[in-house]
Amino acid sequence: MDRVEVNGLAAEVRALREEIGPLRASILRLDRSVKLRTRWLIAAVACTAAVLIAVAAAAVFADLEIRRQIAAANRKLCPMIALLLPDPSAPPTTPRAVELAHQAEILYTVYDCRKDTS
């Protein structure tokens, strides 16, 4: 009795496999298509990320170089600004001279001037 039920189940399993055969092939094609699209998408995202990182790095290096050039150009003004600094032995007496000396000290500090450049 048990053998008959097993044969019946085996027949049902074979019948179900025959029914899902075309569906299985369709699912496999769809699976390959999805995997292929996923690979292309991952490659596209990776390439875009690499390009964005390269552009950002170039922008940072360009910004640093521009800042360095601006600082060098500002330091060229140090001797002229040093002429506007008051002599410690004779401080300015007029309000305009005091304000001019104050502004010269601010510029001297902002432009990172050193005493040896004046």
51 in the same domain as 5 = yes
Is 96 a domain residue?
yes
2 in the same domain as 54 = yes
Q: What is the pLDDT of residue 117?
A: 42
53 in the same domain as 86 = no
pTM value surpassing 0.85: no
Handedness of CA 51, 56, 60, 66 (dihedral sign): positive
- CB 81 within 8 Å of CB 62: no
Is 55 a domain residue?
yes
84 in the same domain as 44 = no
Mean pLDDT per segment of 10 residues, for the chain of length 118 residues? 65 82 80 88 96 98 96 88 85 90 90 68
Is 66 a domain residue?
no
3-state secondary structure of 97: helix
What b/e string do you get for 91-110 counting C-beta neighbours within 10 Å, with b at 16 or more? eeeeeeeeeebeebeebbee
Provide the domain limits for residue 6.
1-61
Number of structural domains (the chain) is 2
Q: What is the pLDDT of residue 118?
A: 43
